[in-house]
Structure 1
């Protein structure tokens, strides 16, 4: 039985610790079983990427900081085998940066990148999230953390349903 969590961050600025939104979608036994989305007050009072994700400082200024949302996130990812993200290097850097800034333990889970899964399984190019979602007929509101994380989880589930070998990208699976 594979249990994993897809994670997606939206960021306020170029800092590794600048998360302003996060979503986690947990899947097991071939289906999504739990999801969580939270706004996060970033450590600096500016939001440079409103044109991308639609969030403004007014949207996040009263939200908890990363340390405030961490207990829920940590609980969700505690029992998973791995984390999945589309362009996983970005989300991994944000997670590590937020944990470091707030003195929190990194969950130390292996990351599966769904860009690589899409290339491996369906030989897709380009592999931006909207392209992969369109190929798989997934609903997507791009740069909405919950929508992106849900699409990511469904990419992994579709690949696994077709026999994708996790060991190709996650040593030990």
Structure 2
């Protein structure tokens, strides 16, 4: 049985430790089993990217920090074979920076990058998340963490080589390449 978690972070500023939202979608045996969304109080009150994601300081000022939220997030990741994200190097960097800032052990899972997966599976270009979603008919509210995470989960599911008529894709070829 394949289990993975697709995730997406929104950040407040240019610092990788500035997560202000996370969306997590857990998939077990190729079925979505859990959807979770959390606002996070970033370490600084500067919200440079409100124009992208709509999250303001007043939305997150009273929310838990990443460190306080970790005991809620960690069980969602537990037991997963891999993590998935669109442009995984960004989300992996945010996850690791936030873990490091709170002296939390980094999750051991490798990442599947859905940008690379879409290129290898369907030979798509461009591979921005809205483009891949349009190609696959996936609903998307771009830059809303839960919607982006669910889109990533659905991209991985769509590329599942066990589905009839699907091109065989080796997910290990897409691990940690972003």
Q: Which TM-score tier does this pair reach, normalised by the shorter chain?
A: over 0.9
The 3-state SS of whatever aligns with 1:21 is strand
The unaligned stretches of length 5 or more in structure 1 are: none
- Aligned runs of 1:62-73 on 2, under 5 Å? 62-73=62-73
Report the Cα distance in structure 2 between the residues aligned to 1:20 and 1:167, rounded to whole angstroms: 30
Match of 2:172 in 1: 167
Separation (CA, whole Å) in 1 of partners of 2:172 and 2:76: 23
1:49 aligns with 2:49: yes
Instruction: Kindly state the Cα deviation for residue 109 of structure 1 after the two structures are TM-superposed.
Output: 0.8
| Range 65-74 or range 80-89, more displaced | 65-74
**Distance of 2:9 and 2:55 partners within structure 1:** 12
Distance 1:123 1:20 in 2: 33
Q: Does 1:148 align with 2:148?
A: yes
> Counterparts of 1:21-170 in structure 2 under 5 Å?
21-160=21-160, 161=163, 162=166, 163-170=168-175
Q: Deviations over 1:58-97 (max 9, x none)?
A: 1110000001111111111011000000000000000000
Cα distance in 2 between the residues matched to 1:83 and 1:170 = 9
After TM superposition, which residue ranges in structure 1, 4 or more long, deviate above 6 angstroms?
A: none
| Superposition deviation, residue 146 in structure 1 | 0.1
User: Would you say the 8 A contact 2:113–2:175 is kept in 1?
Assistant: no
Gaps of 5+ in 2: none
- 1:11 match: 11
- Supply the distance in 2 between the matched residues of 1:112 and 1:63 (Cα, whole angstroms): 29
Cα RMSD over matched residues?
1.1
CA distance in 1, matches of 2:175, 2:114: 12
- Report deviation, 1:111: 0.4
TM-score, reference length from structure 1: 0.96
- Mapped to 1, the partners of 2:21 and 2:69 lie a distance apart of 10
